[in-house]
Structure 1
Amino acid sequence: MNRSQQLGEEKVGKLLLKFSIPAIIGMLVNGLYNIVDRIFVGRGVGSLALSGIAISFPISLAIMAFGMLIGLGATSVISIRLGQQKREEAEQIVGNAFILLLGISLMIMVLGFLFMDPLLVVFGASSEVLPYAKQYLNVLLWGAVFQTIGFGMNNFIRAEGNPKVAMYTMILGAVLNTILNPIFIFGLHLGVAGSALATVISQFITAIWVLSYFLGNRALLKIRLRNLKLRWVFVKDILAIGISPFSMQLVGSVVAVLFNQTLVNYGGDLSIAAMGVINSITMLIFMPIFGIGQGAQPILGYNYGARNYDRVKRTLQLSVMGATGVMVIGFLMVELFPTAIMSLFSQDPELIQIGSFGLRVFLVMLPVIGFQVVVVNYFQATGKPRKSLFLSLSRQLIFLVPTLLILPKFWGLTGVWLAGPVSDFASSGLTAIWLLRDLKQLGSTKG
């Protein structure tokens, strides 16, 4: 049985574990990027430097958004084509996606350097925080190309049925980042710029690793010169499916700006630093869910393309169960040990106090969020971009923005923290309604 055939024939539970566990490990390790950056910066540079990283976080999210637009969009299309036994088309999509990732990331880098100062001011940078944010971004933007290629194309490795190599990719980058951060911050005294340099070097090595895979003999689908010419028939499919995670991530960037501006008004620079830490913890908790989604995506896409709908439903069911279990564990951690978690990042008593309370309130709805993330991934993987897009936007745009504008007027900084769980609850309820409707329409075949 070749790597792609197993997606349609092997037992679903075993297959999901085979694909998800490497993805979960890889994503968890990858989640350490932000954690490691903030721990070393908070302890080695200070609280204002933490605020500087948090202020520049929307740009990092925007870079990741474009990686998702092409990377995750192409992954779903590749999986569906492999399920339809169209290997040549899948390989053409890989080539087109590579060119798109390269071109878009170069554009982001240039625009970032041109408009850095006004962007950071709009993002909420005070005169004390602005120098730290600029030091960080002046280095980080050079890694935009490496980040989008490494992250985007690593998903293709998983799509063709090789999840362990995809896991090694993310472990490689995270381990390098963890080693280089203390060297640059404590050893070479490069400050916040040293943390950014560690991240860029790690992203560069990761990108080289991924490209060497697709140019070597291990890949089922290879990068070939003849496939580097963009074809609209493939580009539009990639963009149509990738628009959902892209929009969610880009809206996340905009919401992060709104958060920073609101936090400055109601809590000052330290509340921005606290939110930066909370975002890092949130991303680490979410990484296993993204790993489950990434592991499920090729299984869902292949079997949907092959019309094995029973296997699609079973994959979705197991994914939801796993995601909910992970989120319950995360919920218990942040509710029981918030002070200990915040103390990892800083010894500033005021920052620890603000962040501990914010962490508990902001993540109180964790047990219901795993379901929502998995279902959005299901719609994306089965080629239903409009549903995926709407549900992706529902939490952050439809529910979070209004609550973020209204609640702080009544409860101040507490209202900022409350905006998160209120929108989580509302979006999960809406997602449940849409999923039930979709499953009723889905056919049933033996698989």
Structure 2
Amino acid sequence: MAKNLDIRNGDIGKLLWEFSLPAIIGVLVSALYNIIARIFVGRGIGSVAIAATTVAFPIMTINIAVAMLIGVGATALISIRLGQHKMREAEKIAGNATLLLILLPLILSCIYFLFSNPILMLFGSSQEVLPYARDYIHIIMLGIVPGAISYGMSNFIRAEGNPRFAMLTQIVAAVINVVLNYIFIFPLGWGIKGAAWGTVIAQTVTAIWVLHYFFKGNSRIKISLNSLKPQWPIVLKICSIGFAPFAMQIANSIQQTILNKTIMAYGGDLGLSAVGIIMSLAMLLIMPIVGISQGAQPLIGFNYGARQFDRVQETLKKGIIAGTGLAIFGFILIQTYATPIVALFSKGDTALTQLTVDGLVIFMALLPIVGFQIIGSNYFQAVGKPIQSTILSLSRQVLFFIPLLIILPNFWGLKGVWRTAPIADAFAVTLTALLLFFEFRRMNQKKSVEFEQVNHKLEPRLE
């Protein structure tokens, strides 16, 4: 209860730091794991294995999309219900979400195993890369349920006011993953299968830990067998709010598929390896900003539910400032140290290093403005407005990136692929600014009406 009072009355800057720092550390550790794992794959197996993980990336993105559909949607609802002091409703939401995090990934894995080869070819695999990609993703799909539980339910932990434990689950998963990847790839020589098994084992361990926290541990929100019984109004509400990040991840998968195919047309397997490295580094730079948005979400959702709109606006403003600062730092890092960073992956392959550096510098050219777009889009998720959130989440990938990716390479070739990202970023930020402008104008009007109503009620007493 003390944590809820802090969210309601505490200093916004301090609360944002307390909630965001664990989220940043958690997602940063996860992103670093992906970087280290890809370095292990590149150095221990070769560039063809990097290309295989790049082909597998759209499938793994779909897995994450399902976890986000449930995890993010339920988290926003839980935060709002806690702000309204409706604990039983929050527990029902968590229980229904847990059931969905088991059933939906199972359905997804069945579809994949029935059509694995056509799916991998669809996502851009060449005949040379296909055996590596198949070996990798077959094992990854065995861990899709624990992966969804681990990712999705960590958000519930953050929503109930325990961001440090949520951070700890991500750190544990990443550390186990890195250690097992090294052991399986180098001493044991399991190749790309070793990288996959490291991921699955780490996800399983953290899933068991998270489930114990809610069923047997010290969580405020208790999940029981009764709360697992599906209630369709709750399920639909979870999915409607979680649809925006789900759609964004599906768009990411479509974008990555088109990107893989375009890269194959203009740069071959070497280009596919290069884009895999670029996407890993982009994730590393963007994830801390995502951590700030995750930290801001329970603050925005709780205070929005409590109708404390000034605190909602202050949280968003400070979140945007912090996210932009991180984006600028990442931009400077890339522009200054691109070559030595990329060389970590390439195992002395100078052609791969040069191709990747050229693409990375252009691809991340407008990184400083990306923080605004991520935090702004997350605001609409936090307050339970799926339409605006979906529009913003899809704007960069669907409305801008994919059309530009189809058009620009026809004029600039491979450089056209790299230039797609900064142009899409500029358009997406503009749209985000417009929607936020209208949202806050409406919110300020609502505050004025409520202020006048309160004064009107007080007038008789003053007389």
TM-score by length of 1: 0.98
SS of structure 2 residue aligned to 1:440: helix
One-letter amino acid matched to 2:361: R
- Say whether residues 1:246 and 2:240 are aligned partners: no
Deviation for aligned residue 1:7: 1.4
Name the Cα RMSD after superposition: 1.0
Aligned partners of 1:349 and 1:135: how far apart in 2? 28
Q: Which deviates the most, 37-46 or 123-132?
A: 123-132
Residue of structure 1 equivalent to 2:309: 309
Residue of structure 1 equivalent to 2:99: 99
Residue of structure 1 equivalent to 2:48: 48
Residue of structure 1 equivalent to 2:190: 190
Residue of structure 1 equivalent to 2:24: 24
Residue of structure 2 equivalent to 1:75: 75
Deviation for aligned residue 1:188: 0.6
- Say whether residues 1:370 and 2:387 are aligned partners: no
Aligned partners of 2:159 and 2:178: how far apart in 1? 28
Residue of structure 2 equivalent to 1:354: 355
Deviation for aligned residue 1:346: 1.4
- Say whether residues 1:387 and 2:388 are aligned partners: yes
CA deviation vs aligned residue, 1:383-442 (integer Å, no higher than 9, x gap): 111000001111000001111011100111000011111100111011111111111111
Pairwise mapping of residues 145-164 of structure 1 onto structure 2 (< 5 A)?
145-164=145-164
Aligned partners of 1:181 and 1:87: how far apart in 2? 41
One-letter amino acid matched to 2:100: L
Residue of structure 2 equivalent to 1:227: 227
One-letter amino acid matched to 2:194: G
Aligned partners of 1:232 and 1:116: how far apart in 2? 32
One-letter amino acid matched to 2:45: V
- Say whether residues 1:424 and 2:425 are aligned partners: yes
Deviation for aligned residue 1:32: 2.0
Aligned partners of 1:236 and 1:399: how far apart in 2? 29
- Say whether residues 1:410 and 2:399 are aligned partners: no
- Say whether residues 1:275 and 2:279 are aligned partners: no
Aligned partners of 2:140 and 2:35: how far apart in 1? 16
Deviation for aligned residue 1:108: 1.2
Pairwise mapping of residues 253-268 of structure 1 onto structure 2 (< 5 A)?
253-268=253-268
Residue of structure 2 equivalent to 1:400: 401
Deviation for aligned residue 1:218: 1.1
Deviation for aligned residue 1:158: 0.4
Deviation for aligned residue 1:34: 1.6
Residue of structure 2 equivalent to 1:7: 7
One-letter amino acid matched to 1:372: Q
One-letter amino acid matched to 2:327: M
Aligned partners of 2:245 and 2:427: how far apart in 1? 19
CA deviation vs aligned residue, 1:338-362 (integer Å, no higher than 9, x gap): 1111111112111101100111000
Aligned partners of 2:114 and 2:54: how far apart in 1? 20
SS of structure 2 residue aligned to 1:4: helix
One-letter amino acid matched to 1:415: G
8 Å contact from structure 1 (residues 34, 280) kept in 2:
yes
Aligned partners of 2:350 and 2:130: how far apart in 1? 23
Tell me which structure has the larger Cα radius of gyration. 2
One-letter amino acid matched to 2:378: N
Aligned partners of 2:83 and 2:236: how far apart in 1? 19
8 Å contact from structure 1 (residues 33, 199) kept in 2:
no
8 Å contact from structure 1 (residues 36, 178) kept in 2:
yes
Aligned partners of 2:212 and 2:4: how far apart in 1? 21
SS of structure 2 residue aligned to 1:405: helix
Structure 2: stretches of 5+ with no match in the other structure:
452-463
8 Å contact from structure 1 (residues 70, 242) kept in 2:
yes
SS of structure 2 residue aligned to 1:124: coil
Residue of structure 1 equivalent to 2:457: none
Aligned partners of 1:33 and 1:129: how far apart in 2? 23
Deviation for aligned residue 1:88: 0.4
One-letter amino acid matched to 1:11: D
Aligned partners of 2:237 and 2:5: how far apart in 1? 23
Aligned partners of 2:113 and 2:361: how far apart in 1? 36
One-letter amino acid matched to 1:407: L
CA deviation vs aligned residue, 1:223-282 (integer Å, no higher than 9, x gap): 111111100121111011100000001110011000000000011011111111111111
One-letter amino acid matched to 2:11: K
One-letter amino acid matched to 1:245: P
One-letter amino acid matched to 2:408: L
Segments ≥4 residues shifted beyond 3 Å: 443-446
Aligned partners of 1:225 and 1:142: how far apart in 2? 25
Deviation for aligned residue 1:11: 1.1
TM-score by length of 2: 0.95
Deviation for aligned residue 1:33: 2.9
8 Å contact from structure 1 (residues 40, 182) kept in 2:
yes
CA deviation vs aligned residue, 1:7-63 (integer Å, no higher than 9, x gap): 111111111111000110011001123212210000000001100000110000000
One-letter amino acid matched to 2:425: D
Deviation for aligned residue 1:211: 0.6
Residue of structure 2 equivalent to 1:38: 38
Residue of structure 1 equivalent to 2:456: none
One-letter amino acid matched to 1:42: G
Aligned partners of 1:422 and 1:316: how far apart in 2? 25
Count of aligned positions: 446
Residue of structure 1 equivalent to 2:460: none
Aligned partners of 2:18 and 2:397: how far apart in 1? 32
Deviation for aligned residue 1:123: 1.2
Aligned partners of 2:206 and 2:351: how far apart in 1? 38
Residue of structure 2 equivalent to 1:210: 210
SS of structure 2 residue aligned to 1:243: helix
SS of structure 1 residue aligned to 2:365: coil
Aligned partners of 1:161 and 1:199: how far apart in 2? 28
8 Å contact from structure 1 (residues 36, 181) kept in 2:
no
